[in-house]
Every structure is written in C-alpha cells, then in structure tokens.
Homo-oligomer: A and B are copies of this chain.
Amino acid sequence: MRENTFVLETTIEALLEEKKYTTLRDILITMNPADIALLFEELPEERLPVLFRLLPKEHAAETFVEMESDAQELLIKGFSDAELKEVVDELYVDDTVDIVEEMPANVVKRILRQTDPDKRKLINEMLKYPDDSAGSIMTTEYVSLRPQMTTEEAIKRIRRTGVDKETIYTCYVTEEDTGVLVGYLTIRSLLLADESELIKEIMDQNVIAVKTTDDKEEVAKTLAKYDFIAVPVVDTENRLVGIVTIDDAIDVMDEEATEDIEKMASMLPSDKPYLKLNVFEIWRNRIPWLLFLMLSATFTGIIITSFEEKLAAQVALTAFIPMLTGTGGNAGSQASVTVIRSLSLGDLKFGDLLSVVWKESRVAILCGIALAAANFGKILLVDMLIMQNTGVTMIVAAAVCITLALTVFIAKIVGCVLPMAAQKVGLDPAVMASPFISTIVDALSLLVYFGVATAIL
C-alpha cells in the first residue's frame, strides 16, 4: 500500500506542478477518503490547501475526518470562514467532537462559531463526558422511530431524514413523550416486513444498551460479543441519547490493545503514534518503570553480596547466573502474559485461580525437566569437554540443573498468580508482565541457587 502511495505521490506532485487541476480532481474522486488522507500525509504541507479545495464537498469532509490533527489544524488556519462552515456542516457530531478535542483554543472558537447552534449545544454536552466513557465516543445522529408507526411510515421517515444519519442500519424505538428506549429493529427486518405492520409489532424489545458513563472498552466488547453494528447509549433514566458505531469501537479496541502491550513492556501508555511523540514524551513514558525496576534490583545485589565469600571460592558458579535468571524470567513471563491476555479477553476469572495454578505446575514440571536435562548435556559438552573448565565439576552441574528446575517452577507460579491477584485487588494485570515478573524471579532464583549451592557443595 505504502509503495503504491509513493508512485501516486509522484504523479500528484507532477500534476500539481503543471496545474492540471481537472485531472487531479478526476483522480481524487475515484479514491476512498481514507486513502486520500494517507496520500496527503506524504505530500509537502504547502500542497494541502490546493488539493483539498479540489475535493467535492462531501468527499472533502470525509477526508478531513481521516487526517491527522496537525494537518487538520493547518487546513483550518488557511480556510476562509465560509470554507470552514462548508466542512463543519458536513461533519458528524462525534467526528467534530474528536477534532475539537485536539485543537488549540483559538481554533476551537473558530470552529464553534461556524457551527449551527443546535449542533454546537450537542458538541458542548459531549465534551463534558469523561474521556474513557461511552458518552465521549457516541454520536447523536441515529434513526429513532415510534412504536405506533407503521412500517411504511418508518421507511418514509428514514428516506426523509436518513441522509444525515451516521448509521441507519439499526433503528431505535423510543416513547413519544419521554424518549425512553423501548426497542430496536434492523433496516433488514423493516424491509422484509409487511408495509402495514406496526413498529411495535416487529421491534425487538430485548434491547441491549450501554450507559453514557460506561467504560468505552466495555462498550467495544459489547459490540464485538453480540456482533452488533451499533449499540444504543442511554442516560440514567433510560432515555436514548446516542449510539456507538462499530468503526469507533474498532478504534477503541486497537487503542486498548496498544495500551496493554505498552504496559506489558513497562511503559506508561500514550495516545499518540510513535512518530508523533517527541523525545521528551517518550522518555517520560519509559523512565518511571526503568527506575523502579532498576532500584528493585538492589535486592538481587544484596543477595549476591551476602554470598560473596562462597562465590569467591567457587567462581564457576557466577558464570551461570545470567542463564538462570534469564530462563526464570522467560518462563515466568510466558505464564504471566498468557494469563493477562486471557483475563483481558474474559476467558479467565479469579475463581479459576486454583485450576490455573494446577495446570501451570504440571507445565512447569515438564518444562523444568526438559530444560534441566538439556542444560546438563550442554554443561557436559561445552563447559567440560570443549572449554575444559576445571571449575565446573559434576556437583556444580547438579547445583545448576536443580536450581534451573526449581526456578522454572517458581517463575511459572509467580507468573500466573500475580496478574490474577492484581486484578482481584483492582490493579491492572498488564503491569504484572515480563519486566516486573523478571525482577521478582531474578531475586528468587538467586536465593534458590545459593541455597542449593550451600547445601550440596
């Protein structure tokens, strides 16, 4: 895709150079707005206003929505008031809110001044919902029908008002006076029903809705679980106030997956793409955990220091420390990451703790035996036979392999228990991933190592 964009980019630049605006327009019209926005990203900034003005009205608004906020800001600054109004008029309320949230105050003022009063009121209301709530991602443009309408009246209503609605595939049925949500139906059931049937006869009363204050991640999960294209959003009195559509839910799912992955790698989550973050922002997201984990390693230092004499006598023991702590860390993070992902997909709950521990114990024993055997073979072959390292005796080999098996066992148990415990006490399990587990397992594996070494050497 990127390669194609590059070829296209060169063509577009050449056409701009020659001022072949009609040809340019013909090319742009065949493209999907998402692709036009991608193309604009690749072109020099000063080309944007000319190209954007070539787009037909509705195309222009759709492309505008898909663009990055810095490009949007650049365009808005170049717009006349009339041009700005033309774009704003075509935007859906939820998209306008998304744009307004990213703009500096003076640009926001200009946008709101060009918005008609009703829409402005809606935008201001939606800006009040918390960042993570269903309210913040919903759109207020949906089709609502009344229970007493006939199918024919309903279809007429959709034909009349549907052009402005973000999705008309699902229609919601609300009470005339109160606005309370009482049912829903799909365009499909409407089309397939008899013209004289009443909406209340064909609507489904078991409507699944979310509240404006619900977490947007839960809303995305609801859409995915029920295979919905949209889900209605109600206020505390069950009045319909908006809908969340599947395309916004997919964005939320992507964001949440990125956030989980960032947390698992010990970073503070960020909401901007990597290339848009400046060096200081990246540093700020990464340094807290690096510092915390580094200082936690003080314990491993203390453990080693207290066995200093033993190590001075048996220097060969030192050479195996990175292998032992590394393997322990890897074994533990396999368990923790599996559990974290299962928790986040809803496949596991705290009540499964015992069966998880029982399963991990058996996996750990199998892994421990295989690793200890392989390592014993490696010591015989590499350390004794090839390297002729006289410090590595059979007893040292035994100490290393016993420690390895025990460490893998402890690591798997710690790795599966900590994320589940974290969720139980209301912490984010994703924090209990590789780096955190590794730091704990480092200390534990050294304690085991020196314990075993003291016992058998």
Residues of chain B within 8 A of A342, CB atoms compared: 273-275
Closest chain B residue to A291, Cβ basis: B374
Report if A283-B363 is in contact (Cβ < 8 Å); known contacts: A326-B294, A347-B273: yes
Is A434's beta carbon under 8 Å from chain B?
Answer: yes
At the interface, is chain A mostly helix, strand, loop or mixed?
Answer: helix
- Write out the residue numbers on chain B whose beta carbons fall within 8 Å of the beta carbon of A181: none
Provide the residues of chain B in CB contact with A329, threshold 8 Å.
Answer: 329, 435, 438
Q: How far is the CB of A211 from chain B (nearest CB, A)?
A: 15
A2, A162, A302, A305, most chain B CB atoms within 10 A: A305
A273-B342, A339-B274, A387-B302 known; A265 vs B297 contact (CB < 8 Å)? no
Q: Point out the residue from B168, B253, B387 that lies within 8 Å of A305, measured CB to CB.
A: B387
Q: Which of A2, A253, A341 has the most CB of B within 10 A?
A: A341
A438 to chain B, nearest CB (A): 7
CA distance A312 to B343 in the complex (A): 47
Indicate with 1 or 0, residue by residue over A379-397, a CB within 8 angstroms of chain B CB atoms. Answer: 0001100010101000000
Q: Which of B192, B275, B434 contacts A163 (CB 8 A)?
A: B192
| Residue A10, interface by CB 8 Å | no
Q: A382-B298, A438-B326 are in contact. Are A305 and B389 (CB under 8 A)?
A: yes
Give the contacts of A287-340 with B (CB-CB under 8 A). Answer: 287, 289-291, 293-295, 297-298, 300-302, 304-305, 308, 311-312, 315-316, 318-323, 325-327, 329-331, 333-334, 336-339
How many copies of this chain are found per oligomer? Answer: 2
- Complex-state Cα separation, A128 to B245, whole angstroms: 34
Residues of chain B with a CB closer than 8 A to A356's CB: 274
Number of contact residues on A: which range applies? 35 or more
Complex contact A267–B338 (CB within 8 A): yes
The minimal Cβ–Cβ distance linking A276 to chain B, given in whole angstroms, is 9
Q: State in angstroms the CA–CA spacing of A320 and B305 once bound together.
A: 9
CB within 8 Å for A274 and B338 given contacts A162-B188, A291-B374: yes
A215 at the A/B interface (Cβ < 8 Å)? no
A439 at the interface (CB under 8 A from B): yes
Stretch at the interface among A27-35, A44-52, A101-109, A129-137: A27-35
Q: 8 A-B residue contacts at CB 8 Å?
A: A229-B229, A265-B336, A273-B345, A280-B366, A294-B326, A318-B318, A325-B326, A329-B329
